[in-house]
Amino acid sequence: MDFSRFKSEYPVVLDEQQEAAVQAVDGPALLLAVPGSGKTTTLVTRLGYMLHVRGIAPERILTMTYTVAAERDMRSRYAVIFGDDEAQRLEFRTINGVCSRIIRHYERKLGRSAFDLLEDGARKSAIVAELLRSRSREFVSESAIKAAQTALTYAKNQMLTDKELESVEVEGVDFPPLFRAYCKLLRERRLMDFDDQMVYARRILLQYPDILADFQARYSHFCVDEAQDTSKIQHSVIRLLASHSRNIFMVGDEDQSIYGFRAAYPQALTGFDSVYPDAKVLYMERNYRSGEAIVRMADEFIQKNRSRRPKQMRAARGGGEVREIQVFDRQQQYSLLCSMARGCGRETAVLYRDNDSAIPLIDRLERLGMPYRSRQLDSLFFSNRVVRDISDIIRFAMNPKNGELFLNIYYKLSSGVSKAAALEAADGAEYESATIFERIAAMPGVSGWTKRQCLALRTHLANLLGDSADRAVYRIVHFMGYGSYLEDRGGDLTKAELLEALGAMEPSPARLLERLEELQTIVRRGSGESRCPFILSTIHSSKGLEYDRVVLMDVADGLLPKAVPGAGAPQDELDAYEEERRLFYVGMTRAKNELDVITFKKQDMPSTFSEELFPREKPAEPQGRKLRAAPLAPKPRAIPDTGGYVPGARVRHGSFGEGVILSRSGDIANVAFESGRTVRLSISAALKARKLSLAR
């Protein structure tokens, strides 16, 4: 069968770039596929081409995917086109699954027993907690355990040397000794975790050439999907397996590499042809998912990254609408999103950087009884040390003779109390008539400054019980010294700000503590509204998905992106910022028809990303200076006439109602709507989507 007959016999329609990818079978090849370019369809079709046109036995092809879900999806999609019998003969495996097979083969061939796999996540967490407690002898929070586990995974997947281990930072943890102790403990208990599977599989392939030869004899062709999410050690295993046949087909997009914290290694894509100098580098640049306005803006945005291949995403269709919606602060943002949820009749996904962002929104939606859809949130917000500290301070205000709580918090406030004085005052405090801070203030030898601080804190603690919950949190952070304590230790206040947002809905700090317990149960169970069109998701979880309308929330420096490097920033900060840009790009390209970006008018919440996407209007030229008019370029017929949309014109928008154009810079206009919202939108995109008209 030749390719022409193959295309006519099977129900696949390919563009010219997809056809080139399908026929790239021999030798090393890298396929860079932009969002919405039909990557999975192309991969599945390529497998059919290999079987039906090239005559390669399905058992000789190993396709490696990033997740078990992707493995199942690819097999089922192959079965739809080419039949279930063939699909069952093909091998689709995760890279961890391949490493497990290498270890099992080693056991059979050498008659040895490998370590047992530590499959139980709770058991692994218990081991890490045990090691952390043995070092700090303090309470170990869930968030600290999770951070340590993430760092352990990162170190193994990046194959860090002893020297490189020293640069890994985990808050409150001396990581290199923890890493060595963890590896030693697993060896002593004859255990290996999922990351060790790759460490040991790679070691086996390097130390036992006959085992490597067995796998190379079995498989002649290797395909790697989602290669941008694959780690350094995984790429090393793949290169070893493919080193004999060199028939390696790697598929990915470094612009969508957003799992740096899991040791994703996009450099394997940018440096592919340095490993394989004779490699073909193929592109799939046509986006079939998103409207033209969305594709154009997303492509211009990601082009600013330097660590990428030179490719340009193009739209396969017109339309699409991108808007900036400005609100004053996060509280107004939550109100806006609740209004979007009310009566939401079409698929709308609210995307955010991390799960913490969703908690105040879920709180409001639950209070209002509005349906929404979200998976169980893996949120460590409730066990975070900042949330725990502020909660303990509130509990201490409710019981100012509790010695245990006092010893947890006294040094985190502006008290100036020594450890010896704290221990003396806390001992038997529940039996004394005076509060602990009053006892310290009355101690002989305590400085006048410490006495004044203790009495001031006593007054603050008494007063915050009468505050609204948000005011109480603000008092703790800004008046009682907790904010200074955090900043001195390099912490950030974002968790405290979220507590304030939650507190705005509660009448008292005591009620806030109750609500935190309620919310912890709510977010961990997820929403059962499986068909609800109003969807909440992190950008990470939305990868590979698409939605009719996407709303990106919390778009402000410090939230999304997490940090903006200054001039002369070190390379690791620049790399982290490029990943933040990739994350935002992935969020943008989930949208099929509409993309809304929520930003803030509040002065201390600027957004570097929104400034790029929606350039602010430049100051007017001084009067009396002559301006030279630029020659007018002929208008393409596809672009509607936007001439009447000038400042002062009244307009009608399909989603926002009637409003007035406040200002306009090029195609971007600021429109104040009667609903109270100020929205920045593209005039031409709104007209092409038939969303905007002049009001009569």
pLDDT (tens digit per residue) in 72-95: 999 999 999 999 999 999 999 999
For 589-616, write each residue's pLDDT tens digit: 999 999 999 999 998 899 999 999 998 7
- 136 token code pair: 């700090």
Residue 159 has pLDDT above 90, yes or no: yes
Alpha-carbon gap, residue 144 to 140, rounded angstroms: 6
Residue 24 has pLDDT above 60, yes or no: yes
pLDDT at 531: 87
The candidate with the shortest Cα–Cα distance to 340, out of 613, 672, 675, is 675
With beta carbons less than 8 A apart as the criterion, state whether 342 and 370 touch.
yes
Alpha-carbon gap, residue 403 to 452, rounded angstroms: 20
For every residue of 663-678, which 3-state class applies, written as one string?
A: EEECCEEEEEECCCCE
Alpha-carbon gap, residue 451 to 449, rounded angstroms: 5
Which residues are within 8 A (CB) of 61 and not within 5 positions of it... i.e. 6 or more apart? 47, 50, 90, 91, 219, 220, 221, 222, 223
Model confidence at 248, in pLDDT bands (50, 70, 90)? very high
Model confidence at 383, in pLDDT bands (50, 70, 90)? confident
Half-sphere exposure of 477 (CA within 13 A, CB side): 22
CA distances (Å), origin 282, targets 81, 158, 429: 24, 27, 73
Residue 388 has pLDDT above 50, yes or no: yes
Helix, strand, coil content of the chain in percent (nearest 5): 50, 15, 35
Residue 63 has pLDDT above 90, yes or no: yes
With beta carbons less than 8 A apart as the criterion, state whether 252 and 21 touch.
no
Q: Which residue has the higher pLDDT, 174 or 53?
A: 53
For 31-56, write each residue's pLDDT tens digit: 999 999 999 999 999 999 999 999 99
pLDDT at 629: 33
pLDDT at 624: 44
Q: Which residue has the higher pLDDT, 3 or 619?
A: 3
What residue type is 141 in one-letter code? S
Residue 679 has pLDDT above 90, yes or no: no
Weakest-pLDDT range from 249-258, 384-393, 469-478, 519-528: 519-528
Model confidence at 431, in pLDDT bands (50, 70, 90)? confident
Q: Which residue has the higher pLDDT, 443 or 144?
A: 443
The candidate with the shortest Cα–Cα distance to 477, out of 452, 460, 456, 455, is 460
Model confidence at 636, in pLDDT bands (50, 70, 90)? very low
pLDDT at 638: 41
Which residues are within 8 A (CB) of 327 and not within 5 positions of it... i.e. 6 or more apart? 333, 336, 598, 599, 600, 601, 677
Q: Which one-letter DSSP state was computed for residue 173?
A: B
The candidate with the shortest Cα–Cα distance to 124, out of 157, 162, 150, 163, is 150
Phi first, then psi: what are they for 386, rounded to 5°? -70, -45
Model confidence at 628, in pLDDT bands (50, 70, 90)? very low
What residue type is 583 in one-letter code? L
For 329-375, write each residue's pLDDT tens digit: 999 999 999 999 998 999 999 999 999 999 999 999 999 999 999 98
Indicate the SS3 state at residue 598. Answer: strand
Indicate the SS3 state at residue 112. Answer: coil
Query: Would you tell me how many other CB atoms lie within 10 Å of the CB of residue 40?
Result: 18
Q: What percent of the chain has pLDDT over 70?
A: 95
Q: What percent of the chain has pLDDT over 90?
A: 74
CA distances (Å), origin 49, targets 27, 149, 217, 510: 16, 42, 22, 66
pLDDT at 106: 97
With beta carbons less than 8 A apart as the criterion, state whether 56 and 26 touch.
no
How far, in whole angstroms, is CA 202 from its chain's centroid? Answer: 29
pLDDT at 672: 85
Give the mean model confidence (pLDDT) for residues 503-528: 91
pLDDT at 43: 96
Residue 630 has pLDDT above 80, yes or no: no
pLDDT at 689: 65
pLDDT at 618: 57
Residue 282: strand pairing partners: 31
Give the mean model confidence (pLDDT) for residues 166-191: 91
Residue 669 has pLDDT above 90, yes or no: no
- 113 token code pair: 């027993």
Indicate the SS3 state at residue 482. Answer: helix
Residue 623 has pLDDT above 70, yes or no: no
For every residue of 441-458, which 3-state class applies, written as one string?
A: HCCCCCCHHHHHHHHHHH
With beta carbons less than 8 A apart as the criterion, state whether 672 and 659 touch.
yes
The candidate with the shortest Cα–Cα distance to 228, out of 573, 565, 583, is 583
Residue 449 has pLDDT above 60, yes or no: yes
Model confidence at 627, in pLDDT bands (50, 70, 90)? very low
Q: Which residue has the higher pLDDT, 670 or 471?
A: 471
pLDDT at 617: 67
What residue type is 131 in one-letter code? L
Weakest-pLDDT range from 270-274, 316-320, 652-656: 652-656
Model confidence at 619, in pLDDT bands (50, 70, 90)? low
Weakest-pLDDT range from 109-118, 248-257, 281-290, 422-431: 422-431
Phi first, then psi: what are they for 189, rounded to 5°? -95, 5
The candidate with the shortest Cα–Cα distance to 283, out of 246, 314, 247, 244, is 314
The candidate with the shortest Cα–Cα distance to 498, out of 526, 531, 541, 469, is 469
The candidate with the shortest Cα–Cα distance to 63, out of 241, 259, 231, is 241
CA distances (Å), origin 562, targets 154, 335, 387: 20, 23, 19
Alpha-carbon gap, residue 421 to 399, rounded angstroms: 19
The predicted model scores a pTM of 0.86
Q: For residue 34, with 0-12 CB atoms within 10 Å meaning exposed, 13-18 middle and 19 or more buried, which class applies? A: buried
Residue 502 has pLDDT above 60, yes or no: yes
With beta carbons less than 8 A apart as the criterion, state whether 345 and 532 touch.
no
pLDDT at 692: 85
Q: What is the mean pLDDT of the chain?
A: 90
For 531-574, write each residue's pLDDT tens digit: 899 999 999 999 989 999 999 999 999 999 999 998 888 998 99
Alpha-carbon gap, residue 407 to 64, rounded angstroms: 53
CA distances (Å), origin 150, targets 191, 200, 337: 18, 19, 32
Which residues are within 8 A (CB) of 44 and not within 5 positions of it... i.e. 6 or more apart? 74, 77, 78, 81
How far, in whole angstroms, is CA 646 from its chain's centroid? Answer: 39
Alpha-carbon gap, residue 13 to 19, rounded angstroms: 9
